[in-house]
């Protein structure tokens, strides 16, 4: 079964409006796409990015959203607001959101439900800390993250879910998980989904890897059986590196 190949750039809190314009123009100039390509600028630059990419196949996505439609939540942005500027996909559950903004599995479940009821797609991030891997708890941690925020969904809703396995210890550290560690976790995730739903559903879900992906390792990572692309942080801020990663799929 062929799954969607996706390369998504998570810009995190980088690039002001001028830098956003410059990077997008560079990307447009050189990009040839086999994969579905997404970029996630900050909220303030989503509209700028959408305008610059009008008619392009590069999808502009959001890094986060609140679970309510509207209301007294100072500083937050809702699914409706994102949809109203043409954003169809949101990253949820990134480890930086979990760690620095105390997002819990229960809150993420509410966000997932809100995104799905707004007909959005979700890149849902999961990943273990280094201590959890050292204690050999990594499979359990990942299972719990998926179970607590996603396993209440019905089968149809899963057509809106893309998973991103991002071991926390590999994010921004230059230390990539080994190919064995990546394949082992991705196939375990697929097995968990097949046991909760069906093998067919499990085979249809794109599972991305994230954590220090760069041009020198992306081809090997993307060639793994259960890897369907990547969620790229640092290397997505450089047009040349991001293009090389996209072309390696
Ligand atoms: P790096 O590619 O910088 O390690 O970041 C990965 C990531 O967190 C993407 O969401």
Tell me the pLDDT of the chain (249 aa) as tens digits. Answer: 579 899 999 999 999 999 999 999 999 886 666 679 999 999 999 999 999 999 888 999 999 999 999 999 999 999 999 999 999 999 999 999 999 999 999 999 999 999 999 999 999 999 999 999 999 999 999 999 999 999 999 999 999 999 999 999 999 888 889 999 999 999 999 999 999 999 999 999 999 999 999 999 999 999 999 999 999 999 999 999 999 999 999
Which residues, in sequence order, are CB contacts of 70 under 8 Å at separation 6+?
Answer: 78, 80
Catalytic residues: 94, 166
Write down the domain spans for the chain. 6-247
Ligand 1 geometric centre to CA of 65 (Å)? 19
- Which structure tokens are listed for 230? 């990547």
The response to whether residue 127 sits with its C-beta less than 6 Å from ligand 1 reads no
Report whether residue 213 contacts ligand 1, using a CB cutoff of 6 Å: yes
Q: Are the C-beta atoms of residues 10 and 40 closer than 8 Å to each other?
A: yes
Contact 218 CB / ligand 1 (< 6 Å): no
CA of 13 to the centre of ligand 1 (A): 12
pTM for the whole structure: 0.97
CATH topology of domain 6-247: TIM Barrel (3.20.20)
- Residue nearest atom 9 in ligand 1 by C-alpha distance: 233
CA 141 to mean position of chain CA atoms? 18
Q: Residue 234: CB within 6 Å of ligand 1?
A: yes
């Amino acid at each position: 079964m062929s799954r969607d190949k996706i390369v998504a750039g998570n810009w995190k809190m980088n690039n002001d409006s001028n830098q956003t314009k410059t990077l997008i123009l560079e990307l447009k100039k050189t990009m040839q796409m086999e994969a579905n390509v997404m970029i996630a600028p900050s909220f303030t630059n989503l509209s700028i990015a959408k305008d610059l990419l009008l008619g392009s196949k590069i999808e502009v996505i959001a890094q986060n959203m609140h679970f309510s439609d509207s209301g007294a939540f100072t500083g937050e942005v809702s699914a409706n607001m994102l949809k109203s500027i043409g954003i169809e996909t949101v990253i949820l559950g990134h480890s930086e959101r979990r760690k620095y903004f105390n997002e819990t599995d229960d809150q993420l479940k509410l966000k997932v439900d809100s995104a799905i009821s707004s007909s959005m797609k979700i890149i849902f991030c999961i990943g273990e800390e280094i201590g959890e891997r050292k204690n050999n708890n990594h499979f359990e941690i990942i299972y719990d993250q998926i179970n607590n925020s996603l396993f209440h969904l019905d089968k149809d809703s899963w057509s809106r879910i893309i998973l991103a396995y991002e071991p926390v210890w590999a994010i921004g550290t230059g230390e990539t998980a080994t190919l064995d560690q990546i394949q082992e976790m991705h196939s375990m995730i697929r097995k968990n989904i097949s046991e909760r739903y069906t093998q067919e559903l499990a085979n249809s879900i794109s599972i991305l890897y994230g954590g220090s992906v760069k041009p020198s390792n992306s081809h090997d990572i993307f060639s793994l059986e259960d890897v369907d692309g990547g969620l790229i942080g640092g290397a997505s801020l450089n047009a040349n590196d991001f293009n090389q990663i996209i072309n390696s799929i």
